[in-house]
Structure 1
C-alpha cells in the first residue's frame, strides 16, 4: 500500500468533515491518504439561484475535472449534489452508510407563523415547491451558500425560518435547538448519503473504496436516483424520493411538484429486496403517466 490516495473535496466545513471521515476509514484499513481541497463554481457564485447556474453538477464538476487531470485520485460528495450520470471515466467507488434523511426547519422566533403568514428561505426548488404546497400563503426567498453561511444569513435576516438537511447540520454540530423536523417533506434523492468516486481505470482506489460501501444504503439511493433520472430528462425539477429498507422489503415514496407547489403527483410503492431492478424507473413512469409529463413540460418552459 505504497500509493498515497489523494482525496479531492470542496473546502467548506461540511465537505471537509465528509472527506476526513473517508480519510479516517481508509487510514484505518492501512491506506495512506492526502486531502486536496478545491473550490467549486457553486461555492463561488452565491448571488443566483442554483437552477440559473445550470444546477447539474455545479458542486461536483470542479472535482471531476481535477480527477480526470490526475490532480486527485478520489472525490467525496454529498450524493444528492451528484448528477445521475457520472462523467465518462469516473465511477462510484463507495456509498457510505446513510445518515439522517430529513429536512428540518430552523426558525427565528417560534413557529406561530405556520398558522398565518411567513417568509421561508431555501435555495432548493424541491423544498420551495413542497413548502408552498403545504403553506400557499407563505413566501419563499432564495438562500445560497454553505451551511455555515446559510445559518448566519438566517440570523441576520427577519425571515420566519430556513430549511436545511438535518444530516449536514448534525455532521458539523451546527444543529440548533430552535428547529422542527419536517416529517411531511420528501427529501432529495440520496439525501444524507455520501458518495466517493474514483477513476474507472484506477483498480487500486476502487479496491480500497469497496471496503467502505454500505450495501443497504447503495440499494436505496440507486432506486431514488433511477427515479430522478427517469423523471428529469436533463431538466432540474422539484422532485422528492425516499427508499427505505424494512425487513425484506424496500418502501418507496416519491413525488413531482410544479414550481409553484400547486400541483403534486405522488407514488407510494414497495418491492421485495432482490427484485428492485427497474423499480425506480417504474415508479417514475407511474408519475409521468399520471400527469407528470405535462408538469415536466411546464417546468422546462418556466426554467428555460
Structure 2
C-alpha cells in the first residue's frame, strides 16, 4: 500500500472531532495512515445571526471545502444534513457511513406542563420551528445557535421550556440528558443521523480507501432525501423535512416528505411506499408532487420572507 497519510479535515467542535476520529479509526483498521486537521468554520464563528441570514448554504462546510481545494487536507467529515446538495467543483461524495438515530428530541427542564399551555422552545432550525408551531400554535419559538455543547449550556442558563436537538449528535458525544422526549411526529432534516465523507475527485488513492467505508443502504436513503430537498430548492433555509426508510422484508422504500410555511400554518406533505427498484427518482417525483400541490407558491413566499 502506498505510504500516503490521509489528512482528515474537520471543524473543531466536540461532535465534529468525534466524527473525524470515527472515520480515522475505520481507516486505521484498514491499514491506512491518517492525520486529523481541525479548521474553524464561519458558521462556528458568527453566532449572533440566524443561519438563514448568513445567506449561504453550506456555512459549516465552506471552510473545509477551501482547505481541500487548497490541498491542506485530503478529506472532510460532515454531518450530512449540513452539506449543500450541490458539492463544489472537484469535490465528490466518497462515503456515507451507516446511519445513526434519525429522530429529533426535545430536551426539557423536567416539567412538561407547558406542552398543554404556552411555552417557549429554542431551535435555530426553520424546519424544527415550523413543525413545532404547526403542532403547538400557541407556543413561541426562539433562535438558538452554536455547537451542541454551547446550545445545551444556553438551554440550562436560559428561561426557555426546552430546545430541540438531533438525537444522533447528543448520543455520539454522550450528552443526551435524562430529561428528553422523542419527537417521533417531527420529520427530520434530509440525511439527519448520517455522516458524509468527501474527497477530491482526482485523488484515486483516497477515494479507493473511503469506498470501503460506504454503507449502501444509507447511501440510497440519503440520496432520496437530498434529491427531494434539491428539487424543492431548499438549500439549508426552508422548512423541509424528509425521511426514507428501507424495509428489507418487503424490499420497499417508505418515503415521507414535508414542506411547511415559516409560521407552521401551512403544511404540504407526501407519504409513499415504492419497490426498491424505483429509488433513483423517488425524491424527485415526491418533490414534484409537493410543488404541484401548492409548493411552488409556498417556496416563493418563504424566499421572499427570508429576504426581508
TM over 0.5: yes
Shift of 1:236: 2.1
State the secondary structure of the residue aligned to 2:254: strand
CA RMSD of aligned residues (A): 0.9
- SS state at 1:277 partner: helix
1:18-41 Cα offsets, whole Å, 9 max, x none, are 000000000000000000000000
State whether structure 2 residue 261 is matched by structure 1 residue 261.
no
Cα drift, residue 272 of structure 1: 1.2
TM-score by length of 1: 0.99
> Which 5+ residue runs of structure 2 have no aligned equivalent?
none
Moved more, 162-171 or 109-118: 109-118
Shift in Å, 1:275: 2.0
SS of corresponding position for 1:274: helix
For the residues of structure 1 that align with 2:236 and 2:30, how far apart are their CA atoms?
40
- Cα offset for 1:278? 1.2
Could you say which residue in structure 2 is the equivalent of 1:25? 26
Aligned to 2:84, the other structure's residue is in SS state: coil
- Per-residue CA distance 1:113-170 (angstroms, 9 max, x = gap): 0000000000000000000000010000110000000000000011000000000000
1:278 aligned residue: 281
Rounded to whole Å, the distance in 1 between the matches of 2:235 and 2:214 is 28
Q: State the Cα distance separating 1:55 from its structure 2 match.
A: 4.3
Aligned to 1:148: 149
Contact 1:55–1:236, Cα closer than 8 Å, also in 2: no
**2-side partners of 1:301 and 1:271: how far apart?**
35
TM-score (normalizing by structure 2):
0.97
Quote the residue 1:174 is aligned against: 175
Q: Which residue of 1 aligns with 2:58?
A: 57
Write the distance in 1 (CA, Å) between the matches of 2:236 and 2:219: 24
| Runs ≥4 residues deviating over 6 A | none
Aligned equivalent of 1:199: 200
How many aligned positions are there? 304
Query: Which has the larger displacement, 176-185 or 50-59?
Result: 50-59
Structure 1 Cα separation of the partners of residues 246 and 235 of structure 2: 28
